A and B are shown apart, each in its own frame.
Chain A
């Protein structure tokens, strides 16, 4: 099957429709976390990010009609990432081991607030303050 034959089913209208769905999901992923419920933030921010990424891959990159070899190539690298995470996480996510102790200083909320206020001291414009809710 030639390149152009493979993609005959996709019109400009189809792509624009996918685009509007992606924008709607972007809106939800911004508004959802503002509510402040942890599980809702996880679903609206990260769950929707996964769906958005899948839609871009499937419909814009045409992975939904691509040969399986491309899928296998990409999936193999994702598997490598899983190996990397499971191999490294047990060490990185622990504060100490048998012969070592992490010297990483965990900043407290109070320390961070004091530092934030010092960094933004003298700002006249409220809109230049990031989104820290300060």
Chain B
């Protein structure tokens, strides 16, 4: 006899368990990225030279990546919308558009890293560049993880299974977008 575990079928908070789990993950992510951003603010407000160093980052590339992430956020929320209507074909299509957005984002980031490193702006050059590579690298890692999880979920959705997971990965992807919304002005605009 097999039964679904109680943890997946009962919700004391009134929030479906998968979604509640994502909120907990995001709460821990807020501490990680928020801690990084707080450190940045402390140094940036105290050291004028960080403004000069930020001049070497490429605003156009950062702005384009913001556009890409906002667009991919739209796609994933449309995938969630389609999954709620049990339109699995549309949901899978939008999930793959989102994954493609992730690829474009990482390609632009790779171009930026290549250009910066070739000009000597490595992560060991200064505290600013250490922060730049740590924050954008950690964010990029989250983008790649999101793409991988979406690929796994798309396989289930194609079979009409676990459609609620589209919402869960969507919430995660929007959070990755929100982090970038803050990193963009900090690293590319505040010069």
The reply to whether A112 and B121 form a contact with Cβ atoms under 8 Å apart is: no
Asked if B139 lies at the interface with its beta carbon under 8 angstroms from chain A, I say no
Select B177's contact among A46, A56, A104, beta carbons within 8 Å. A56
Select A3's contact among B52, B71, B164, B171, beta carbons within 8 Å. B164
Whole-angstrom CA separation of A73 from B30 in the bound complex: 11
Select A49's contact among B48, B55, B184, beta carbons within 8 Å. B184
The reply to whether A45 and B27 form a contact with Cβ atoms under 8 Å apart is: no
Asked if B7 lies at the interface with its beta carbon under 8 angstroms from chain A, I say no
Whole-angstrom CA separation of A108 from B46 in the bound complex: 14
- Produce 1/0 per residue, A1-34, CB < 8 A to B: 0011001001110011001001100100110010
The reply to whether A30 and B59 form a contact with Cβ atoms under 8 Å apart is: yes
The reply to whether A93 and B70 form a contact with Cβ atoms under 8 Å apart is: no
Asked if A77 lies at the interface with its beta carbon under 8 angstroms from chain B, I say yes
The reply to whether A93 and B53 form a contact with Cβ atoms under 8 Å apart is: no
The reply to whether B181 and A130 form a contact with Cβ atoms under 8 Å apart is: no
Residues of A69-93 at the interface with B, using a CB-CB cut-off of 8 Å, are 69-70, 73-74, 76-78, 80-81, 84-85, 88-89, 92-93
Which residues in B have some Cβ–Cβ distance to A below 8 Å?
13-16, 19-20, 23-24, 26-28, 30-31, 34-35, 38-39, 41-43, 45-49, 52-53, 55-60, 63, 66-67, 70-71, 73-74, 77-78, 80-81, 84, 115, 119-121, 126-127, 164, 167, 170-171, 174-175, 177-178, 181-182, 184-185, 188-191
17 extra A-B contacts, CB within 8 A, seeds A33-B190, A45-B190: A3-B16, A4-B84, A7-B80, A12-B78, A19-B70, A23-B67, A26-B67, A29-B185, A60-B74, A61-B170, A69-B14, A70-B15, A70-B20, A78-B30, A81-B38, A106-B48, A130-B55
4 pairs of A and B residues whose beta carbons are closest in the complex: A132-B55, A45-B185, A112-B52, A107-B49
Which residues in A have some Cβ–Cβ distance to B below 8 Å?
3-4, 7, 10-12, 15-16, 19, 22-23, 26, 29-30, 33, 41, 45-46, 49, 52-53, 56-57, 60-62, 66-67, 69-70, 73-74, 76-78, 80-81, 84-85, 88-89, 92-93, 104, 106-109, 112-113, 116, 119-120, 128, 130-134
